Amino acid sequence: MRRDIFQAVADPTRRAIIGLIALQAMTPNAIAENFNTTRQAVSKHLRILTECELLKQEQRGREIYYSLEVEKMKEIDKWLEQFREIWETKFKQLDNLLINIKK
| 3-class DSSP string for 25-90 | CECHHHHHCCCCCCHHHHHHHHHHHHHCCCEEEEEECCEEEEEECHHHHHHHHHHHHHHHHHHHHH
What tens digit of pLDDT does each residue of 24-71 get? Answer: 999 999 999 999 999 999 999 999 999 999 999 999 999 999 999 989
Q: pTM for the complete prediction?
A: 0.78
Domains and CATH numbers, the chain: 5-102 (1.10.10.10)
